Amino acid sequence: MSTENANETPLQTAAPEAAAPAEPTSAPSDNNEQSGSSRGGRGQGRGRGGTANGRKHKNMGRKEYQREERSAKRVKTVDSVHDGEDRRSRTRTDWQPRELAEGEEKEDRKPKRKVAVMISYCGSGYRGMQLNPPHKSIEGDLFEAFVKAGAISAANSTDPKKSSLVRCARTDKGVHAAGNVISLKLIIEDPEIIPKINAALPEQIRVWDIIRTTGSFSCYTLCDSRKYEYLVPSHVFLPPHPESFLAKTCWEYAEKEGDLENYLARQKDVEHWWPQTDQKVLDELSDLGRDAITEAIKAEGRADPTLPVDPTQQAAQLLKKIREIRQREKKDYRISPERLEKVREAFRQFVGTNNYYNFTVDKTFKDASAKRHIKSFEVLDPVIINGTEWLSVHVHGQSFMMHQIRKMVGIAMMVVRTGCPVSRIHDCFGPRKISVAKAPALGLLLENPLFDHYNNVISKENQRDPLDFTKYKTEIDEFKQKFIYSKIFEQEESEHTFAQFVEYLDVCSGSQYLYLTSAGFKALDDAPKQPASAVVQAPGNQSDDEAAGEEEG
């Protein structure tokens, strides 16, 4: 329908060649008179009007007009994707059409089958699972390996969309997968196709199986639920240093709200850890002078752990030695049964259906897709790896939004560390917009997706093999130990990623985490408003390839 004002008569006359053939007795101005009539310039009969500016479509039926409108919108959507206006509408691939080389003959067409490819990968060195040219991605390496192995023809090697490539779960930069699935059309006549694909892949990506599926199968839409694991050293649940901004703020609000006794009770099992650690610092560095060490300890509690230490300054050297002693003590820390139970209780708060708009990006509270269902959240008994105690956290949910799991882990850490009641987590499911710390990507890995409903249907009809990772458990366990767990442990040992994460949050002097104090959300209301630009992400959490609101899987 025209966007012109129906009361305004066009000043121009339609071109003669655009006008409909007229009878000799017809007045040449009839169409112009109709354009100013109460019909709003639509013209007569089934026509779509005859305005001279060409914005209406004369002699076009309504259904034909609507079909053209829909087609134009589709073209506009594709154009906007290529212009970078809407990355969520369609995956950009930037693949160019392939031309036959000189002397190359067109290959024989071979039948393609819809399949599910069962894979594992270590995400280190990759910008995530999803194709993201020109950046290195898991799907990019897989697609190239399919082409090299002959599972995708040369004619289709220029565009993954031609093979109907779909991923079950999208993983972010640096995130690993012990089990993931992609579905697409492959040429699988060759009985040695899997070894050939693996030979074309780096060792940190493995294909375990290629399973024929139903023709309409999509691993994303037919996945019932997903399981993730998050590995975290137990020392991240220690309280902040007493001289840090966060510790002082929690103490002040506990006094102000008359909650100091309860606050101290919630931290009782670790009340002596920091005093004992600081005493060890004094004992080991006593030759440098007690006063200097005491002042350096206070300064360390306020220092940003991500800033480099200047080796030319004596005070900086002292600060470096203090950090080394503290890191050694954290490595030796063993979580108490009381604190472990509080950690488990914190994660249990997520079980059920809740609104997670505070745990992702670009969602509103009223957005129906922000509601997610968590089936279980379990914390296994601690294990000692290279002298450090680690906790393995397992979450099972229907689907997860971008950063949701890392933010759930992040707020569970902060609630336990600050002596905050674990019920505060439930308050974060409400409409109040808050900042939630995003735990490092280092410890996160996709365990495996589940296809229970699909497997039940095909087992009854006896059409296809079920999609089940338990068949490859031995191989996957070996792969996890060699390429995933070892990478996580080695990186934390050398870079102290988790220690830096919590220490950075402890010295943030903004108001964004005041809701973790005894005053709760009331502390945010009383605090001065903080501009969004002042909220800085913790180290290692800046992501330069985030797609707003996109599904993680």
Residues 125-135: pLDDT tens digits? 999 999 888 89
Coil, strand or helix at 86: coil
CB environment 390-404: b (16+ within 10 A), e (fewer): bbbbebbbebbbbbb
Under a CB-based contact definition with an 8 Å cutoff, are residues 191 and 409 in contact?
no
Q: What is the pLDDT of residue 240?
A: 96
Distance, in Å, from the CA atom of 209 to the CA atom of 470, rounded to the nearest integer, reads: 12
Q: Is 228 annotated as a binding residue?
A: yes
Closest CA to 210 of 222, 220, 226, 198: 198
pLDDT number for residue 410? 97
pLDDT-above-90 percentage for the chain: 59
Instruction: Round to whole Å and give the CA distance between 476 and 35.
Output: 72
For the chain, the helix, strand and coil percentages under 3-state DSSP, each to the nearest 5: 40, 15, 45
**Is the model's pLDDT at 146 over the cut of 50?**
yes
What beta strand segments (E) does 187-250 contain? 205-212, 225-233
**pLDDT tens string 193-230:** 999 999 999 999 999 999 999 889 999 999 999 999 99
Q: How far apart are alpha carbons 436 and 512 in whole angstroms? A: 8
451-473 tens-digit pLDDT: 999 999 987 776 789 999 999 99
**Nearest in space to 173 (alpha carbons), one of 502, 406, 477:** 406
Query: Assign residue 469 a region: left if phi > 0, alpha if psi is -120 to 50, beta otherwise?
Result: alpha
Task: Tell me the C-alpha distance between 358 and 431, whole Å.
Answer: 9
Q: Say which residues have a Cβ less than 8 Å from residue 199's Cβ, sequence separation at least 6.
A: 149
Tokens of 447: 């365990």
Distances in Å between the Cα of 199 and the Cα atoms of 53, 55, 141, 461, 550 are 62, 58, 12, 35, 32
- Contact status, residue 181 vs residue 449, Cβ threshold 8 Å: yes
Backbone phi and psi for residue 166, each to the nearest 5 degrees, phi listed first: -135, 140
Q: 95 or 525: whose pLDDT is higher? A: 525
Residue 17: partners with Cβ closer than 8 Å, 6 or more residues away: none
Q: Which domains does the chain have, with CATH numbers?
A: 1-13+27-83 (no CATH), 113-222 (3.30.70.580), 231-240+334-534 (3.30.70.660)
397-428 pLDDT tens trace? 999 999 999 999 999 999 999 999 999 999 99
CA distance 36 to 195: 74
Q: What share of the chain has pLDDT > 70, as a percent?
A: 73
Cα 118 to Cα 141: distance, rounded to the nearest angstrom = 15
Contact 205, 138 (CB under 8 A): yes
Which is more confidently placed, 100 or 182?
182
Query: Which residues carry out catalysis?
Result: 172
Average pLDDT score over residue span 375-383: 98
Helix residue ranges, H only, 272-313: 273-284, 290-302
Mean pLDDT score, 11-32: 45
Q: By three-state DSSP, how is residue 354 classified? A: strand
pLDDT at 159: 86
pLDDT number for residue 294: 72
Question: Which residues are within 8 A (CB) of 62 and not within 5 positions of it... i.e. 6 or more apart?
Answer: 46, 48
Highest mean pLDDT: which of 24-33, 288-297, 481-490? Answer: 481-490
Give Rg (Cα) of the chain.
31
Residue of 354, 279, 380 whose CA lies nearest to 322:
279
Per-residue pLDDT band for 295 (boundaries 50, 70, 90) equals confident
Q: Which residues pair with 48 in a beta bridge?
A: 57
| pLDDT at res. 75 | 53
pLDDT band at 3; cut points 50, 70, 90? very low
pLDDT at 527: 76
Among 110-119, 125-134, 378-387, name the one with the lowest average pLDDT.
125-134
Q: What is the pLDDT of residue 82?
A: 44
Residue 491's Cβ-count burial label (10 Å; 0-12, 13-18, 19+) is middle
Task: Kindly report which listed range (34-43, 314-323, 382-391, 426-435) carries the lowest average pLDDT score.
Answer: 34-43
How far apart are the C-alpha atoms of 331 and 337, rounded to whole Å?
Answer: 18
pLDDT at 548 over 50: no
More confident position, 101 or 273? 273
Cα dihedral sign for 68, 70, 73, 75? negative
Q: Which residue has the tokens 């799991």?
A: 405
Average pLDDT, the chain: 82
Distance in angstroms (rounded) separating the CA atoms of residues 529 and 511? 8
How far is the C-alpha of 158 from the C-alpha of 179, rounded, in Å? 27
CB 296 within 8 A of CB 263: no
CA distances from 239 to 165, 420, 546 (A): 46, 11, 31
Across 338-358, average pLDDT = 98
| H/E segment holding residue 151 | none
C-beta separation of 154 from 105 below 8 A: no
Q: What is the pLDDT of residue 540?
A: 53
Residues 6+ apart with CB under 8 A from 364: 357, 370
Contact (Cβ atoms closer than 8 angstroms) between residue 140 and residue 150: no
Task: Give pLDDT, residue 282.
Answer: 87
The DSSP 8-state label assigned to residue 123 in this structure reads: -
Quickly state the pLDDT bin for 292 (edges 50, 70, 90): confident
DSSP state of 537: P
CA distances from 26 to 22, 70, 92 (A): 6, 36, 55
**Helical H segments across 418-485, by residue range:** 424-427, 452-461, 473-479
Helix (H) or strand (E) holding 377: strand 371-379
Length of the chain: 553
Distance (Å, whole) CA 514 – CA 536: 15
Separation of alpha carbons 10 and 51, rounded Å: 7
Strand locations in 86-216 (E): 113-121, 166-167, 176-186, 205-212
Beta strand pairing status for 444-450 and 176-186?
parallel
pLDDT for res 73: 62
